[in-house]
Structure 1
Amino acid sequence: MPPAAETVLDEVDGEGGDGGVRRRPGPRPWRRPGPAGAAALAASLFTAVLLCLATALSRTYPFGPVTRNVVDLGQQYLPFHAYGRALLLGETHGDAFLNWNSGFGSNFLGDIGTYLSSPFDLLVVAFPADRIELALYVVTAAKISAAGGAAALLFVRLCPGPWPVAAALGTAYALSGWTLNHGATVPMWLDGLLAFPLLCLVAEWARTGRRPVLGPVIVALAWIANFYTAYMATLGAAVFLAVRLLTSDETVTARQRIAGTLRATRSVLIGIGLAAPLVVVVFLGTKVADPTPVTTFAPAAWTDLLARFLPATEGVTSPALFIGTPALALALTLPFNRAVVPRVRAGWTAAVVLATLSLQWEPTHLLWHAGASPNGNPYRQTFVLSGLLLIAAWLSVARGVPRPTALLAGGALLGTLAWAARGSVEIDAWTFPAFLAAAALTLAAALLAGQAARRKAAALPALPVLSAAAVVLFVAAQAGETVVTGKRIEERQRNEVSWSPLTGPWHAAAAREVARADAWPRHRTDPGEVPGGNDVLLVGGQGADYYSSLTAEVTSSTLTSLGFGHYAKGRHPVTLDNPVTDALFSIGTRLRSEPTEPVRQDARPRARVTVTTTSVPPLVTVRARAARAPRPGDSAFVRQELLLGSSVYELPEDTRRTGHTLTARCPAGSEVWLWAPDYEGTATLAGKGTSAVRIVQGTSAVSVSVREREGPATVDFDGRPPAVRAPMQALGTVPASGEVSIDLLPDKAGIRLPRQPVGCLVRARLDSAVRRLTVDGATRVSAGGHSVTAELPPGSTGVAVLAAPRISGWRCAAGDAEAVPARAYQGLVAIPLDGRATTVSCSFRPPGLRLGGAVGAAALLALAATAGFHRRRQEFTRSAPADRSAGNADG
């Protein structure tokens, strides 16, 4: 490479050097975008087109009838965006601090920082409530398209070259295997995809001493949007900066390299500080969240890792490394491309190799994931490696098509990789046909580009059609392979992982009934089971259903101990249709749904929705004395009675199990309840009964069991510890003989039951307990966005109990006393009473808000100081030449 080309690799925006004197350009008239702008715009548009095409070919919504709500997309992100839209439009009972709908009261600022803090999420307000899936698709497409544009911009800023190729490589980054396999169904991770190229630009500005204010602002936006993947993107940008500093021109001194590193560190620290008001709240929220089981990292088989570079592969146990055969071929030519200076080749090759190895080594795996091996996908940082590979591809092609020797060597590496991966379980039927077709088109593009280069080198008339045809073939190969990969991943995910149906008439009917019956805060309205999960966020109401990475441990443990079920290892508690817990949590209105047809992937679900209203105690009740502390062996029936303050169940002492049959004696006319959280199978109460309907939302699919039969009532249990615990369920009424016989039919060998699985509810006892709590409870309850106030009968003593889990952040006071951290009563919020106070009040403030605000204020001051210092420095450097000139004239 000639010296001029060697220097250009160290330039940004066409400017060389490291911190020399620069003049601020004056106002310029509008003009057409240059190569960088054209590349960014083309990459964004091209990315959007290919993403939509892949979606359409897989017949997936919004271009087909099939749901795209796989895994957490349907159970978390769709409901959170629906609720976020309602919050922005002022249609919720809660506010940015507290979500009254979910988990009987949850820290919503933490959820905002986890799921809804990206600027792109504001787009949901442009769509009606019944088009929330379309809104989420648009948000997803916008993030992916922006990432493609940012990557293309980075490439051209890093090294000038043909902008159409930069646009194609930007699209390759945006639609990498990581995006198609994971990011598209976990929209919050896509903010990290966009953050990586932007943070690399920030690193480049720091290296050259430019944009000291904009850099920290971009860091702050990245960390606010999603601090989890922003952390990974920041590590990736650090690798980028290290390579750039180590491969700089020899004229760059060690002092200049250190200065660039310090400037980058300053930008990162100030940016993270600006994001602290949200980041600290989320961080502290994770500390009190329900813990997931410890995961031991197991590296993927090397055959599977190599296979993931190929198209149409899918899975979560190996890294999704696909970037397209044309782009990968270019990246593999870099070590052999003698047109690129040796230090640049060595630096970027080492970065890519080490980043790949870091995926497979546990210490670096933990570094990428902030010290904790995640449950589920263990390769969430893969988008960074994809970015590094594409930077290598761009550096190899920016100055022209690599020479035949480099192309042959890169092609040999590519062929060896494909051959080594041929036996992997990740290989799809479409993998090698798509790979071979893309490789053939790439080879044809290289031959045409080489012919054009040879004509130019021989001073022959250049044929623009050759270069244009080469670019077209390259782009076609990249686009076709990407679309095939996206299509196959969509189809395989629907068949292999859990899914939720599209929102439809079932959800609309439930939402209408909830809105009609809502009586908050007089009592709660529980929408019951609606397909999709996080039901109250989708259709409204106030219930236990809640699925978040920040589900508090006290919420999960309290509800589980009372007989509620859960998914996601405790982070997704679900509703419990039980009259005792309805009384405990003031659920006065309950919806029950009966599906009118099986729930399918390609249809919107329908159901008949009924509404039942019962008398329940108010949201704030009074216990005259404290109940005994729960014991480790207490059943869910005992835990309910302790919290209620009354004995309402008859707990048979002589429950016997013979084979697959449970027998016991209970009072005639009482209701039989079975508590079997770890049991998977069916339970039938012998005798005359009614049909039973149970929605099962497991790990493989959402299915609806509709039994229309006469005879005993059959109920499904879906316990699969530790991920899934089944809620207690009613089996029917005890006959006049008092004999209870329960037939169990497990889905697999072995029946796991607790020590006291059967409880018989005596309704008369429960009615008496409800009347007592109503008479002694609050006479009036009012609730704000994150507060509640209750008026109590005069002379109330003991403890006032707010029917909400005692999560961190609650502060309460009785009467005019100063608010203090709330106490807990059997897991719920409690306020001691002395007989003089006639009111109690509680308010919620997310933990970490004050600390984060203080850090954010300090970071803002640091940013202002940086701006002031930079401005004074610019003024000094501008005036210095004029001063010297004047001095010479005087002399």
Structure 2
Amino acid sequence: MPSRVAPHRAADRPGGRVPAAAETATRPSRPRLRAAAGAALLTGVLFCLASRLAGSHPFGSRTRNIVDLGQQYLPYHSYWRRLLLGEADGDLFLNWSSGFGSNFLGDLGTYLSSPFDLLVVVFPADRPELALYVITALKIATAGAAMAALLLTLRRGPWPVAALLGTAYALSGWTFNYGATVPMWLDGLVAFPLLCLVGEWARKRRRPVLGPLVVAIAWIANFYTAYMATIGAAVFLLVRLLTTDDTGSEGAVRRPRLAALLRAARTVAIGVGLAAPLVLVVFLGTKVADPTPPTPFAPAAWTDVLARFLPATASVASPALFIGTPALALALTLPFNSVVAGRVRAGWVTAIVLVTLSLQWEPTHLLWHAGASPNGIPYRQTFVLCGLLLMAAWLSVAGGLPRPLALLGGAGTLAFLARAAAVSVDIDRWTYPAAAGALALAALAAVAALLARSRPAGRLLPVLAVGLLLAAQAGETLVTGKRIEEQQLSKVSWAPRIGPWHTGMAAAVAAKDAWPRHRTDPGEVPGGNDVLLVGGEGADYYSSLTSDTYSRTLAALGFGFYAKGRHPVSLDNPVTDAIFSIGTRMRSTPEGPLELDRLPEARIEVAESPVPPLVTVRPGPPAPAPAPGSAADTAFARQERMLGSTVYEVPADPRRTGTPDGTGATLTANCPAGSEVWLWAPEYQGTAALSGSPATTPPAEFAGKLPSVLAPMQRLGTVPASGAVRIELTPEPKAEPRLKLPARPVGCLERHRLDSAVRELTATGATAVRATGHTLTAELPAGSTGTAVLAVPRISGWRCAAGDAPLEPAHRRLGLLAVPLDGKATTVTCSFRPPGVKPGGAAGAAALLALLLTAWLHRSRRTREPARRREFTARAHPARSTEKTPV
């Protein structure tokens, strides 16, 4: 793999620094384009081949919908398509479908703001999985292209090798283990090499307008991983400034370095400012989101860290550092490669070691994650280290194959790493065979490259060397991608592919949807975030920005949740249906178990019932609340307070007795004959059955496991004529605690009371309701007094008014929107504006002015200094001999 470009002579430069003319000379763009195109093509092909080997959609029948890919990204992309095509009820500010009305701009900035996500409109409505797969593949391919282009900007060399290393970055273990199933993080994978390019432009006083625009796009696409990429780019820039500089005295050298840092800081500040209208909305949304329990950071064992450099390893508890054994071996040769200047080697090795250590130290772990240790994957920043390793590999190989001593040093370090990792639990049965095969092919590639040195006129040997290196890197990558996907499906939760269940439900919802006259709740379909997939308006909502107000309000009413409160789910209960104006409810009966390689099917039933309108009028304050934590403080009582009527009979002291075999318990109580028995057991794991129910009625299943899962209340059956209620409880054998129940877990709903309450609320409620985008307007009966209550959670951002009064921050009534009435107003209006829009807009406007000023100053300087401009575009003539290769 010899380079055809003669390096600059640096033997007479202090520390091996690069001459100014060499640093400012224009590099040919054609090799960069070839490398970028080659990396993009190779990355896309290998990613698709890995999916084919794993037998996953769209190249196989197995689902790819692992954890959040199926529960968040797929539903959000499905809804995004409808919104872009004008088929959704909300707008960019508000999503009327999820969470009874949620902050969509925050979710847009979290999950959907990447330019790639606009491609979802190209695909049919029933193919969101294919759309998401193509978007994922394009992001990964773009990351490979960006890294390949960066490498040739960093130092000239053979473009095929740059393309291979760009592919290694794009298809690292981080991508297969994390990024491919969390597509929004892939924007950070793309952003890192682009932001490093921005750092290079700042160092060379180039592209002062394009640089901030690149930063802005990166932060808009996904500010979370863009923040990590920005830290990584800062490390890159510091190394570049310390290992390359203009010639001159030490004082003269320091001034350009400081100026470059200031230019980089200005570029980032303007770029982040341009992204502020969206970034600030997301940031403020996280401040009011349902707080997840604190997650203490526990560093991974170093043997596990070392194991993750090797192929076919998968874990969420250790950093995914695989970049391919050949690429890793090249990176490990850098400390021993005497052809590269000592100052360059020291700078890059130090940076890589410090970044590696920063993954394992809690203060720097918090720095990488913006001050909050994340729930779930703790090593989300690992793609930065993968990129730095590949830069080191490029610096060592760009000038030609490292000398034998450097190769031996790299091989020895790799052997030590592999031996130390042997005891790790992350090692797979494919790990060492795949690494050995790749290393053998890489060794053959090295032999071919060494032979090519002695026969410089031959073309076959260099091509053979690159071909062998490609085979080594590609084969190992395919094995890794296949094994990681297989391990994930066997260890974590998954959702089936989109199938007849989803399409049938979407059709049923579309036929019955009556928004905003009342809501239509699709119930639960496989995958979660159901209304985003199939339409309607329900409680189901899963987001990192799920409001604390919303989550607490629903949990208090007996709804269940997953994801530690950030995924409230629908509750099939007639009282809460009346409270939230759910007039049509869909119920699904699966036609078989859910399987990895089978499309889900179900029978769908439609249930309609009279409910009050979305806006009701309450004459006075709500009934006094029971003391928090008291026996009377139940979900049944909270439902009644929100409804404004007593509809349950709640036995004060249900008796609990253990079963003879000690495996369960029995609850006994008395209720009015004919009433409906509901069990509220939010922390219970097991089944519950009402004695005397028909044999065809299956027991109700509860899966409460705080803090992660809260079980919803469930209907068990009808009270017999005797009025005796007997509930058989069978807890899960390993459940802890086995039978933790509230003091009053049983409620008996009397339907005639509920029907009376619904009629009263309907008679005094709104006569007409209109919803447009992020605004809801209701017409009220003349002379209405008291409080207008909207069946919408009172999340931050709502402003309301009665009549012609100006909008002001909305009032709250038991967690819902409320508007005081004085008897004169006959309308109420509420409008939603995401918190952060106005200050974010102001910051964006200021950043735009700063960008225009920067462009004007740069143009003025170029006009005044034509000679200096020519200096930065002159081509340098490299020397033909060298002692060391600086970078």
Q: TM above 0.5, one fold? A: yes
SS for the counterpart of 1:503 is: coil
The alpha carbon displacement at 1:455 in A equals: 3.8
1:597 CA drift (Å): 1.4
1:9, distance to aligned residue in structure 2 (A): 9.8
> Is 1:817 aligned to 2:802, yes or no?
no
Picking from 515, 520, 523, the partner of 1:525 is 520
Report the secondary structure of 1:273's partner residue: helix
Residues 405-804 of structure 1 mapped to structure 2, 5 A cutoff: 405-456=405-456, 462-628=457-623, 630=625, 631-633=627-629, 634-659=633-658, 660-689=665-694, 710=695, 713-747=698-732, 748-749=734-735, 750-804=738-792
Q: Which amino acid aligns with 2:368?
A: W
1:97-496 equivalence runs, <5 A: 97-249=93-245, 251=247, 253-456=253-456, 462-496=457-491
Aligned to 1:707: none
Using the TM superposition, give the Cα deviation of residue 463 of structure 1 relative to its aligned residue in structure 2, in angstroms: 2.2
What amino acid maps onto 1:392 in structure 2? A
Q: Is the 8 A contact 2:18 2:245 kept in 1?
A: no
Note if contact 2:668-2:725 (Cα within 8 Å) is conserved in structure 1.
yes
SS of the equivalent of 1:682 reads strand
Out of 812, 817, 821, the residue aligned to residue 829 of structure 1 is 817
Is the contact between residue 150 and residue 170 of structure 1 (CA under 8 Å) also seen in structure 2?
yes
Q: Give the RMSD, CA atoms, in angstroms.
A: 1.8
User: 2-side partners of 1:754 and 1:5: how far apart?
Assistant: 77
The residue matched to 2:817 in structure 1 has which SS? strand
Q: Which amino acid aligns with 1:746?
A: P
Match of 1:843 in 2: 831
Q: Determine the structure 2 residue equivalent to 1:703.
A: none
1:373-421 deviation digits (Å, cap 9, x = unpaired): 0000000000000000000000000000000000000000000000000
Return the match for 1:856 from 844, 860, 871.
844
Deviation string, structure 1 residues 663-690 (Cα, Å, up to 9, x no partner): 110000000000011111100100032x
Which residue of the partner structure matches residue 57 of structure 1? 53
Percent identity at matched positions?
A: 68
> Is the partner of 1:422 in helix, strand or coil?
helix
Q: Deviation per CA, 1:489-535, whole angstroms, max 9, x where unpaired?
A: 11111110010000010001100010000000000000011010000
Query: Per the alignment, in what secondary structure is the counterpart of residue 117 of structure 2?
Result: helix
What are the Cα deviations for residues 520-574 of structure 1, in whole angstroms up to 9, with x where unaligned? 0000000011010000000000000000000000000000100000000000000
- Cα distance change on mapping 1:625 and 1:688 into 2, 3 Å: same
- Letter of the 1:858 counterpart: A
Q: Aligned AA for 1:540?
A: G
TM-score normalised per structure 1: 0.93
What residue number does 2:38 align with? Answer: 42
- The size of the alignment, in residue pairs, is 846
- Describe the shift of the 1:10–1:290 C-alpha distance in structure 2 as closer, same or farther (beyond 3 A): farther
CA distance in 2 between partners of 1:95 and 1:551 (Å): 18
CA distance, structure 1, for counterparts of residue 449 and residue 740 of structure 2 = 68
* 3-state SS of 1:63 partner: coil
Question: Are residues 2 and 646 of structure 1, via their aligned partners in 2, closer, same or farther at CA, if it must alter by over 3 Å?
Answer: closer
User: Would you say the 8 A contact 2:587–2:605 is kept in 1?
Assistant: yes
Contact 1:686–1:740 (CA under 8 A) maintained in structure 2: yes
Instruction: For 1:249 and 1:282, locate their aligned partners in 2 and report how far apart those are by CA, in whole Å.
Output: 39
Q: Which moved more, 1:243-252 or 1:374-383?
A: 243-252
Deviations 1:619-673 (A, max 9, x none): 0001111114544221110100000010000001121111211111000000000
**Which protein has greater RCO, CA pairs closer than 8 Å, 6+ apart?**
2
Question: 1:590 and 1:4 mapped to 2: Cα distance?
Answer: 77
Name the SS for the 1:130 alignment partner: coil
Aligned-partner residue type, residue 428 of structure 1: D
Q: Quote the Cα distance in structure 1 between the aligned partners of 2:455 and 2:409.
A: 23
Distance 2:549 2:856 in 1: 47
2: CA distance between counterparts of 1:406 and 1:753? 67
Match of 2:877 in 1: none
Q: CA deviation at 1:756?
A: 1.3
Q: Is 1:68 the counterpart of 2:64 in the alignment? A: yes
Quote the Cα distance in structure 2 between the aligned partners of 1:57 and 1:854. Answer: 50
In the alignment, the residues of structure 2 paired with residue 17 and residue 464 of structure 1 have an alpha-carbon distance, to the nearest angstrom, of 30
Structure 2: which amino acid aligns with 1:673?
A: W
Are the equivalent residues in 2 in contact too, given 1:45–1:145 (CA < 8 A)?
yes
Deviation at residue 837 of structure 1 after TM alignment: 0.9
CA distance in 1, matches of 2:698, 2:226: 52
Q: Which consecutive residues of structure 2, in runs of 5 or more, have no partner in the other structure?
A: 1-5, 659-664, 871-887
CA contact (8 A) 1:652 1:758 kept: yes
* 1:2 CA drift (Å): 6.5
- The residue that corresponds to 1:692 in the other structure is none
The whole-number CA distance in structure 2 between the counterparts of 1:728 and 1:131 is 35
For residues 17 and 36 of structure 2, what CA distance do their matches in structure 1 show? 20
Residues 793 and 838, structure 1, Cα contact 8 Å, conserved in 2: yes
Q: In the superposition, relative to structure 1, how do residues 880 and 394 fare at CA in structure 2: closer, same or farther (>3 Å)?
A: closer
CA distance in 1, matches of 2:579, 2:806: 27
Matched, 1:807 2:795: yes
Structure 2 distance, partners of 1:326, 1:2, is 24
Residues 324 and 476 in structure 2, CA contact (< 8 A), matched pair in contact too: yes
AA matched with 2:522? P
Q: Distance in 1 between matches of 2:41 and 2:624?
A: 62
Contact map agreement 2:16 2:341 (CA 8 A) in 1: no
1:205-228 residue CA offsets vs partner (Å, 9 max, x unmatched): 000100000000000000000000
Unaligned ranges ≥5, structure 1? 26-31, 457-461, 690-709, 883-891
Task: Letter of the 1:348 partner, please give it.
Answer: W
AA of the residue aligned to 1:219: V
**Partner in structure 2 of residue 29 of structure 1:** none
Q: Distance in 2 between matches of 1:838 and 1:688?
A: 49
2:394 match: secondary structure: helix
Moved more, 847-856 or 744-753: 744-753
Cα distance per residue 1:419-477 (max 9 Å; x no partner): 00001100111101101101111111111111212444xxxxx3221111111111110
Code of the aligned partner of 1:609: I
Cα 1:762–1:329 change in 2 (3 A) is: same
Task: Report deviation, 1:33.
Answer: 6.3
